[in-house]
A = this chain, B = another copy of it.
Amino acid sequence: MPSTPAPSAVKAALKTQVIETPSWGYGNSGTRFKVFAQPGVPRDPYEKLADAARVHEFTGVAPRVSLHIPWDTVEDYGKLAEYAAERGLTLGAVNANTFQDEDYKLGSVTHPDPAVRRKAVAHLLACVDIMDATGSKDLKLWFADGTNYPGQDDVVARQDRLAESLAEVYQRLGDDQRLLLEYKFFEPAFYTTDVPDWGTSYAHCLKLGPKAQVVVDTGHHAPGTNIEFIVAFLLRERKLGAFDFNSRFYADDDLMVGAADPFQLFRIAHEVIKNGGLEPERNVNFMLDQCHNIEAKIPAVIRSVMNVQEATAKALLVDAEALRAAQRSGDVLAANGVLMDAYNTDVRPLLAEVREEMGLHPDPVAAYRASGWQERIVAERVGGTQAGWGA
């Protein structure tokens, strides 16, 4: 007799989940071959927030926006935070960038030259200053650092420099601030990457202390890597700080989360829920980090938020008791069947109800399309320089 979870509890959980969207997801992006510009793209951080506010308006679960420094550099971060607050938003993780200055050609915090390292660390410390001004709690660190050729630099010396740089930044953190260390399999470095996998990030975070946690970017793994295993392991170790959600078929494709392998996203959501990752005290930050190179940006972010919700909803529907029973009895097919039953459920009606109970339109994409916002920004955002990666 299946003991399906109570719909009210599922709905309550879905209403409280927060999905943070990235400011750069609203700007232009592309590949090394071409950045295709889109009409209506923001020219500054304020316009990015205006777009993010639309995503929150129609989904109800995206009230927080990640910043990227220097792409989102402004004169007055307090004013930016106010601007956000007026639109029902708060400013989320601050993402540091130590990969676009000429000095960083051979590394930033791991560079052989101490002067370059000092410059990079100074930038990270400046990001914490910005956090103080914006009220952001998370400093998200992704380093492009690595080497392209065997012999180019000393792998272990680079780890030493990394550890030293991180320690200095860690010391600067306020009581309620975190350092989130992201790992990435490869790109832009093509031989070694200084933080290439979760183990490396975990080992550094462990030494830094409790305010240092790992970021799992779903696109940053070797082919075939079981991401949900890593998620479960890090939750067990209390070291999962955040997700950077996106999806990929090949490398770090940065497609919309759930677009390439929705079953994988569900399995990740299942481990999150089973291991307490949705509980507020765990403080797991569910962020998007994507590139909408060819698709319309705001609807793509909305669709991505919905994909995370759908995976979460399905995972919430897993009959945990039946699953445990099948697992205990060693019935492989029955245990798998319990999971698949949840996955095969069409949760779109449930989420439509959730939205209506929150006072929202049941179909966020349709609501956005009907809102006229896209037409307005295409008409109004003329001239100036569109936001992008500035690569």
Contact = CB atoms under 8 A, between A and B. Distances in A.
A30 B391 contact: yes
Q: Across chains A and B, which 3 residue pairs bring their CB atoms closest together, nearest first?
A: A199-B199, A222-B222, A151-B339
Interface in A188-204: 188, 190-193, 196-200, 202-203
A100 B34 contact: yes
Q: How many copies does the complex hold?
A: 4
A35 B31 CA distance: 12
B198 A336 contact: no
A112 interface: yes
Nearest to A323: B151
Interface stretch (A5-13, A57-65, A70-78, A248-256): A248-256
Contacts of A199: 197-200, 202-203, 230, 233
B261 A333 contact: no
Contact of A32 (B31, B202, B270): B31
Contact of A327 (B112, B202, B223, B224): B112
Contacts of A233: 155-156, 159, 199-200, 203
A113 B113 CA distance: 52
Contact of A226 (B226, B249, B348): B249
Given A152-B336, A192-B226, A197-B199, A186 B251 contact: yes
A132 interface: no
A48 to B, nearest CB: 19
Given A35-B391, A149-B295, A190 B250 contact: yes
Interface string A202-242: 11001000000000000001111110111011011100000
A30 B32 contact: yes
Interface in A280-318: 293-296, 299-300, 303, 310
A222 B196 CA distance: 13
Nearest to A326: B151
Given A198-B199, A251-B186, A324 B294 contact: no
Contact of A250 (B112, B185, B237, B248): B185
A153 B294 contact: no
Nearest to A29: B32
B149 A232 contact: no
A37 interface: yes
A135 interface: no
Nearest to A347: B344
Contact of A391 (B32, B188, B248): B32
A120 to B, nearest CB: 14
Contacts of A373: none
A144 B274 contact: no
Contacts of A200: 199, 233
Interface centre among A31, A229, A232 (most CB of B within 10 A): A229
7 contacts: A32-B389, A33-B391, A150-B259, A150-B340, A198-B199, A200-B233, A262-B343
A2 interface: no
A133 B76 CA distance: 58
Given A34-B100, A190-B253, A149 B259 contact: yes
A175 interface: no
B249 A251 contact: no
Given A185-B250, A186-B224, A294-B332, 9 more contacts: A30-B32, A33-B99, A37-B102, A148-B255, A151-B326, A196-B229, A199-B199, A203-B237, A299-B333
Contacts of A300: 333
A386 interface: no
Given A34-B391, A144-B33, A203-B237, A295 B332 contact: yes
